């Protein structure tokens, strides 16, 4: 009788351990699912943040490009004006020298 009780006790204990193991596995699976869901949410948030930051940076880059283009155009215009002034001045000096040469040759 003691042997049968011991066997039954062992069977009950084994069954209890299997049930506990199954419950533990179920909890692990639930935790794993929760962690995966949280990870997906975090990844989605990061993607949104990166997209927003990327849009912001692209806008800033366009603004800087526009400013640089404006500065380049301004410098080019100033350079062309200076070149025209120098050219006009040189033409006037050449005309004066030519007049002096004509006067000297008369």
pLDDT tens figures, 43-67: 999 999 999 999 999 999 999 999 9
Residue 2: inside a domain, yes or no? yes
Please provide the DSSP assignment of the chain as one string. -HHHHHHHHHHHHHHHHHHHHHHHHHHHHHHHHHHHHHHHHHHHHHHHHHHHHHHHHHHHHHHHHHHHHHHHHHHHHHHHHHHHHHHHHHHHHHHHHHHHHHHHH-
Range of the domain at 6: 1-81
Residue 86: inside a domain, yes or no? no
pLDDT tens figures, 59-91: 999 999 999 999 999 999 999 999 999 999 999
Residue 89: inside a domain, yes or no? no
- Number of structural domains (the chain) is 1
Residue 97: inside a domain, yes or no? no
Give pTM, 2 decimals.
0.55
Residue 91: inside a domain, yes or no? no
């Amino acid at each position: 009788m003691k042997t049968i009780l011991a066997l039954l006790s062992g069977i009950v204990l084994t069954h209890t351990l299997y049930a506990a193991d199954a419950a533990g596995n179920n909890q692990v699976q639930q935790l794993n699912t929760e962690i995966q869901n949280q990870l997906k949410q975090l990844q989605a948030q990061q993607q949104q943040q990166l997209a927003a930051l990327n849009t912001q940076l692209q806008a800033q880059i366009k603004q800087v490009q526009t400013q640089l283009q404006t500065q380049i155009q301004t410098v080019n215009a100033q350079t062309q004006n200076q070149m025209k002034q120098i050219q006009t001045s040189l033409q006037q000096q050449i005309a004066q020298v030519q007049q002096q040469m004509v006067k000297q040759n008369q």
